Amino acid sequence: MNMVDLIIKKRDGHKLNKEEIAYFVKGVSDGSLPEYQISAFLMAVFFKGMDTRETADLTIEMAQSGGVFNFSEVAGFKADKHSTGGVADTTTLILAPLVASVGVPVIKMSGRGLGFSGGTIDKLEAIPGFHVDVTEKKAIAYAKESNIVLMSQTDNLTPADKKLYALRDVTGTVDSIPLIAASIMSKKIAAGADGIVLDVKCGSGAFMQDLKSAETLAAMMVQMGQHMGKKVTAVISGMDQPLGLNIGNSLEVMEAIEVLKGNVGGDLLEVSLTLGAYMLLMARRVETVEQGRYLLQTHIKNGMGLAKFRELLIQQGGNPEILEDASLLPLSPCKKIVLASAEGYVSRINTALIGRASIETGAGRAYKEQPLDFGAGIVMKKRLGDGVKAGEALAEIFAATEEKCAAAANYLQQAIIIGEEKTEALPLILKIM
């Protein structure tokens, strides 16, 4: 088999068979294929696409390119969740302890953030002492004892995906639905979950900016999951404004704690309850989504969700005192308030620019190896449709220097549009697949 022939075949729009895809993934994994041929193949896929069968074959080969976790020792249906990425998307820190507190094991491997899409591992590392590097053996022991493990992806998990993603990032081939679907689903299958709830973001702060693209991606991932014997539900949710009010690693931990205490509601809670309810439904812990939402809300009110989060902190070395004293979490010293220049209503928010502002504070990465300022970020003071008076606070910025605050403020002023007429936000949950 010859890689040049495969590149030409896909370039000309033909379908690849399972053996050809296996040959490609093996060459990526063992280093026998040069990066220029891999890049050429990725570009051919970007322009000519892959059908569901090709994408499923690619996913299976990528999942099996390294170690595959086996959590069969852990009793019960193991539920997982994945978000395609957004701004102030703190749902994992809320729904994981809530779902686990109901008795459904949640063993979740997460990644670090790149660009304006924050990573769960970065948020956990903002907690003093929290250990994200967990072995498979230890993860099984934790899950048996507490029903919850939040951990970073191990080095031997889907090595083919790591290489492909790094090349996609520098060759302009990130925004390919088959490649996105295979990347996400290969990691989830290798991570050993029985079922996965996918949060496919749609809007100005998401990879998929229109509903049609989000539906295409969601449908492909659901079909692939079913093809491989996994239960998969996709929730398409809006990202036309930051999901929560806090953007930044330590700040998002603070907001998650307040949600679990029952002090914060809104969109962040709504999406967390919806995703969590579908996790309970696929685990057959409840019979309807409504029952799932009610059960999760009950575990906020009775404190069981917060107690499970405390258990997670103690289990993985984090300081549980942060639950009572937020000042134990890092917060950057320089502060700047962004003020409204006119009276009216918040008519539009460019969420991608809000994300760019968070990168300027030091809360996000512009490149993979960039160190983070865990205490940096933004606290939004207004949502879409809110009334605004001239001189009123739109957002509060935290960063290490005045220069970083000023750079972030410049993006925020561009991102928040004030109009004369009130604009209603689009529905938060756009579709369930």
Catalytic residues: 82, 161, 168, 183, 187
Integer Cα distance of 171 and 182 in angstroms: 17
Starting at the earlier edge strand, list the strands of the sheet with 416-419: 387-388, 344-349, 416-419
Tokens found for residue 268: 């962040």
- Farthest CA pair distance, the chain: 67
> In 3D, which of 155, 179, 176, 168 has the Cα closest to residue 21?
179
Assess contact for 227 and 193: CB atoms under 8 A.
no
The structure tokens 């069968």 sit at: 53
> In 3D, which of 233, 213, 216 has the Cα closest to residue 225?
233
Assess contact for 358 and 87: CB atoms under 8 A.
yes
26 Ramachandran zone, left/alpha/beta (phi>0; psi -120 to 50): alpha
Find the angle CA(200)-CA(234)-CA(229) to the nearest 5 degrees: 130
Tokens found for residue 431: 């579709």
Assess contact for 108 and 80: CB atoms under 8 A.
yes
Assess contact for 305 and 103: CB atoms under 8 A.
no
Integer Cα distance of 268 and 266 in angstroms: 6
